[in-house]
Amino acid sequence: MKFLFLTSHPLIPNNAGNTIRTYTIMKWLRENGHIVDWITFASEKEHEIILNSKKDLNNICDKYTPIIIDRKKALKNCIKAVFTGKPFKAEFYNYKEANDIIKRELREGNYDIVSGYLYLTSQFVDFCTKETKWLDIVDSISLLYERQIPNTKNLLKKLFLIEEKRRVLKVEGHSVKNFDLITMISETDKKQISKVADTGKIVLIR
């Protein structure tokens, strides 16, 4: 089968918990005969590190496509999020050049399964029309914000967390309702999503 993985940050170097999970899945798929392509957002420096890590790169993918982050456009999108109602952090990645690259790869790649990592990439998995859509939410970020709110003293920050939590939970619920497969790590996170969607299709991968 042919897979496309979308990540909001590089998996190389593979030295943190938030990279090891997806790195390991992609490596296993390649070792078992599947074709794995990878698109990731990265800074120029991160892109150079990836290119210089040929062994790691060959371990996890057949084709690597970077989206070099344009911080000016990304930050403008964060401002637009005030009016769009989308999560601020997700809007950071949602600019035209990034969308064009992902749509091109989807059009030309003929993938069987497209996988996004974290809710930040769900907006791009949404582009799929015929591919199986898989989102690895991992942790419910809306739950993370919910836990932070009571301990936040700064009023403006607290109001931001309340609003961002609402927006993220909406995205998490949309993904569960509309994607073919959702993976997470715990029952606690799954319970959070149950506030807005049927969680029957969620699979726990620890």
2-37 pLDDT tens trace: 999 999 999 998 776 778 889 999 999 999 999 999
Element (H, E) at 117: strand 113-117
Segment among 27-31, 39-43, 81-85 with least mean pLDDT:
81-85
CB 39 within 8 A of CB 105: yes
Cα 33 to Cα 70: distance, rounded to the nearest angstrom: 35
pTM of this prediction? Answer: 0.90
For the chain, the straight-line distance linking the first and the last C-alpha, in angstroms and rounded, comes to 24
What is the predicted pLDDT for the residue at 167?
A: 94
CB 71 within 8 A of CB 46: no
| CA-based nearest residue to 97, from 39, 25, 170 | 39
What is the predicted pLDDT for the residue at 190?
A: 93
| CA-based nearest residue to 1, from 115, 101, 104, 126 | 115
